[in-house]
Structure 1
Amino acid sequence: MNQKYVKIIINGSPISKSNFKLSNSSGRSILPYASGKYHDRYALYEEEIAYQARLQNPNIQFTESLIAILKVYYKSKKRHPDTTNIPKSIFDGIEKSGIIINDAQIRKLVIEEFYDNENPRFELELFAESLYDIKYQIFNMEKEIDPIEYSLPSNKKSTILNKKKKIQKDSCGKLCEICGKFVSDSEIVSANKGQTLICRTCLKKLF
């Protein structure tokens, strides 16, 4: 069928394929279907996408290049997969449905992230490039809204902190074990038979 537009809605929390890959004995990435483990979840999700997409759009197949508008609705603002990893997961399922021949047909893609605690889902619109085009516009908000702030995971925080300490140590001398500051060698005094290093400022405060 010579279709120029479709809309596909798949209910359920979107998940990322990158979190569910395993490697075989030769190091090649695989996607298990029936291991009986948590990793099967993505393969089942991909099949659900294919089934629902075909059910919503029977007898439709795009053969030309496409524009895609993807709206992803998560349950939570903070606890969800990286949105940049989501499109590959979704388009693999759409390709399996037969609605597209290959995900390389998607030449223009816009992704938007939303939140719906009651009804997590994704909504995908596909437009044939022979008939449609898209324009981008960035504009100032009339009223500033509260930003959604993100913080580093604890493992990355410790890695960065260790790097900073090493840089400071290399450039500033030794670390005082009382105040936690790096000072020059001339300002450091050793105590406890050389096992403890204290700067002269902290040493004076002890008396």
Structure 2
Amino acid sequence: MIKAYAKIVVKGSPISKSNFKLSNLNGRSILPYNSGKYHDRYALYEEEIAYSARLQNPNVVLTESLVAILKVYYKSRKRHPDTTNIPKSIFDGIEKSGIIINDAQIRRLIIEEFYDSKDPRFELELFGESTYYMNYDIHHRESYCEPIEYTPPSNKKSQGLKAITPKPIEKSTHICEVCGKPIVKQEEIISANKGKTLICRSCFKKLF
């Protein structure tokens, strides 16, 4: 019996693109990789995942529904992305590899967070539901374990529930992230990453 299974290990600190959005003139979401800007890393990371996945699983194509176990190993306990936002980048990369048809195949997913300062990485195992099934249990600890506490970032502690009114952005502060030139006309501004990234229409067209 052929068992539907694949395992992918990608070295390096996992990254998330959950808050990054950039669209072309037709409204289609895109991921630039050669603009020379910081956000190129999202597309390059997906390409790295796709290459590693295919190299580690030659001739494997999983077409059925899947169970996924994702283990994420961060370099630091204090500074790392939200683990719940990590899977999107990973599964988009796996889909690009051709090992799966679509990330909608993932019907069950367990994510575990670990720390490894010397070897940050993620390890993903995919199991076909025709030959594998998942069991999981939650148990009460027999002995007390020191909790890992989380606190709000320092810039939010003093804000409480007060409404924050964003300061208006002056026209002179609109700078294209690609060419570095001021953008004078409002209609020439292309925004991405929830308004954090501004690109002039001329540079935007050159990306495609």
- Give, as a single letter, the amino acid of the residue that structure 2 aligns with 1:32: P
- Aligned CA distance change for structure 1 residues 157 and 30 (closer, same or farther; 3 Å): farther
8 Å CA contact 1:66, 1:105 repeated in 2: yes
Counterparts of 1:95 and 1:113, CA distance in 2: 22
Q: Aligned equivalents of 1:34 and 1:75: distance in 2?
A: 27
Number of equivalences? 162
Residue 155 of structure 1, CA deviation: 3.2
Greater displacement, 29-38 / 15-24: 15-24
Compute the displacement of 1:71 (Å): 0.4
Displacement, 1:52?
0.4
1:46-82 deviation line (CA, Å, top 9, x unaligned) = 0000000000000010010000000000011121001
Q: Which residue of 2 aligns with 1:119?
A: 119
Q: 1:77 to 1:24 in 2, by over 3 A?
A: same
Partners in 1 of 2:39 and 2:20 — Cα distance? 5
Q: Aligned partners of 1:153 and 1:104: how far apart in 2?
A: 34
Cα distance between partner residues in 1 of 2:102 and 2:27: 26
Q: Tell me, in whole angstroms, the C-alpha distance in 2 between the residues paired with 1:133 and 1:14.
A: 27
Does 1:38 find its partner at 2:49?
no
Per-residue deviation, 1:21: 3.3
1:62 match:
62
Q: Which residue of 1 aligns with 2:134?
A: 134
Unaligned 5+ residue runs, structure 2? Answer: 164-208
Q: Tell me: CA distance 1:155–1:23, structure 2 relative to 1, closer, same or farther (3 Å).
A: farther
Q: Root-mean-square deviation (CA), in Å?
A: 1.8
Q: Provide the C-alpha distance between the structure 2 equivalents of 1:48 and 1:28, rounded to a whole number of angstroms.
A: 23
1:3–1:61 Cα contact (<8 Å) kept: no
Unpaired runs of at least 5, structure 1: 164-207
Offset at 1:143? Answer: 2.5
The aligned residue for residue 179 of structure 2 is none
Matched, 1:88 2:88: yes
- In structure 2, distance between residues paired with 1:30 and 1:157: 35
Higher relative contact order (CA 8 A, sep 6+): 2
Could you tell me whether the CA contact under 8 Å between 1:8 and 1:123 is conserved in 2? yes
Query: Is the Cα–Cα contact under 8 Å of residues 32 and 40 in structure 1 kept in the other structure?
Result: yes
User: What is the CA-CA distance between 1:6 and the residue it aligns to?
Assistant: 1.4
**Residue identity in the other structure for 1:84:** T
SS, match of residue 62 in structure 2: coil
Q: Work out which of the two has the higher radius of gyration on C-alpha atoms and give 1 or 2.
A: 1
* Residue aligning to 1:171: none
The answer to whether structure 1 residue 77 and structure 2 residue 70 are counterparts is: no
Tell me how far apart the structure 1 counterparts of residues 110 and 61 of structure 2 sit (CA, whole Å): 21
* 2:159 counterpart residue number: 159
Residue 101 of structure 1 is matched in structure 2 by 101
Q: What corresponds to 2:180 in structure 1?
A: none
Amino acid in structure 2 at the alignment position of 1:18 = S
Measured at CA, do residues 24 and 151 of structure 1 come closer, stay the same or move farther in structure 2, by a change above 3 Å? Answer: farther
Shift of 1:159: 2.7
Give identity over the alignment, percent.
75
Deviation at 1:136, TM superposition (A): 1.4
